[in-house]
Amino acid sequence: MNKPSTARRILTTDLPVLIIVLFAMAPFAWMVLTSLTPTAALNATGVSVSPAGWSLDNYVRLLEQTSFLGNMMDSLIIAGGTVILGLAVAVTAAYAFSRFRFAGRKLLMLQFLLINMFPVVLLILPLFVLMKNVGILDTHFGLILANATVAIPFAVWMLTSYVGAIPKSLDEAAMIDGCSRLTALRRVVLPLTMPGIISTGIYIFITAWNEYLYALTLGGRNVRPVTVAIQTLIGEYQIEWGLLAAGAVVGAMPATILFLLVQRRLIGGLTQGAVKG
Amino acid sequence: MPYMLLAPAVLVTVFIVFMPMVQAVVTSFYDLILWKPNASRFVGFGNYVKLFADPVFWTALWNTAIWIGLTVPLQMGLGLLTALLLNREFPWRGLARALIIIPWALPSVVIALMWRWIYDPNTGVLNDILIYLSIVQSAVPWLADPNLALYAVIATLTWQGFPFFAVMILAGLQGIPKSQYEAASIDGASSWRQFVHITLPGIAPVLATAGLLRVIWVANSMDVIFVMTGGGPGYATHTLPLYAFVRARQNLDFGYGTAIAVTFTILLGAIVAVYLARTMREVER
Residues B177-190: pLDDT tens digits?
Answer: 888 888 888 888 88
Report the predicted TM-score, pTM, of the whole model to 2 decimal places.
Answer: 0.86
Is B10 close to A260, i.e. CB distance below 8 A?
Answer: no
Residue A85 has pLDDT above 90, yes or no: yes
For an interface test with B, the pick among A20, A157, A181, A256 (most B C-beta atoms closer than 10 Å) comes out as A20
Q: For residue A151, what are the contacts with CB-CB under 8 A and spacing of at least 6?
A: A82, A83, A85, A86, A204, A207, A208
ipTM: 0.83
What H or E segment, with its residue span, contains residue A240? none
pLDDT digit string (tens) for B14-62?
Answer: 888 888 888 888 888 877 777 776 667 777 777 788 878 888 888 888 9
- pLDDT over 70 for what percent of chain A? 92
Q: Taking CB atoms and an 8 Å limit, are A181 and B1 in contact across chains?
A: yes
Residue-wise pLDDT for B116-136, tens only, equals 888 888 777 888 888 888 787
Mean pLDDT comparison of A79-93, B53-67, B99-113, B204-218, highest-scoring range: A79-93
CA distance B57 to B259: 11
pLDDT at A277: 32
Nearest chain A Cα distance for residue B125, angstroms: 9
Q: Which letter, b or e, does each residue of B70-100 get, where b requires 16 or more Cβ atoms within 10 Å of its Cβ?
A: bbbebbbebbbbbbbbbbeeeeebeebbbbb
pLDDT beyond 70 at A236: no
Q: Which of B88, B90, B118 sits opposite A30 (nearest CB)?
A: B118
Percent of all residues in chain B with a pLDDT value above 90, rounded to a whole number = 7
Cross-chain residue pair A119–B16, CB shorter than 8 Å: no
The reported pLDDT for the residue numbered B139 is 77
**Closest alpha carbon to B268 in B247, B251, B252, B244:** B244
Q: How many inter-chain contacts (A to B, CB under 8 Å) are there?
A: 259
Please check whether residue A275 is in contact with residue A159, taking contact to mean a CB–CB distance below 8 angstroms.
no
Between chains, do B244 and A125 touch, taking CB under 8 Å as contact? yes
Q: What is the pLDDT of residue A276?
A: 37
Percentage of chain B lying above the pLDDT 70 cut: 97
Question: At A86, is the pLDDT very low, low, confident or very high (cuts 50, 70, 90)?
Answer: very high
A166 with A187: CB under 8 angstroms?
Answer: no
The pLDDT value recorded for residue A267 is 66
Identify the burial level of A134 via C-beta atoms within 10 angstroms of its C-beta, where 0-12 means exposed, 13-18 middle and 19 or more buried. Answer: exposed
Split at pLDDT 50, 70, 90, the class of B284 is: low
Whole-number pLDDT of residue A194: 86
Residue B33 is predicted with a pLDDT of 75
Closest Cα of chain B to A43: distance in Å? 9
Residue of B3, B11, B14, B16 to mutate for A, most A C-beta atoms under 10 A: B16
pLDDT, one tens digit per residue, over A174-194 is: 888 888 888 888 888 888 888
Give the domains, in start order, of chain A with CATH numbers.
6-55 (no CATH), 66-276 (1.10.3720.10)
Candidates A152, A248, A270; nearest CB to B113: A248
Q: Which CATH class is domain B28-284?
A: mainly alpha
Residues 6+ apart with CB under 8 A from B163: A24, B79, B82, B100, B101, B102, B103, B104
pLDDT interval class at B283 (50, 70, 90) = low
pLDDT at B229 (0 to 100):
86
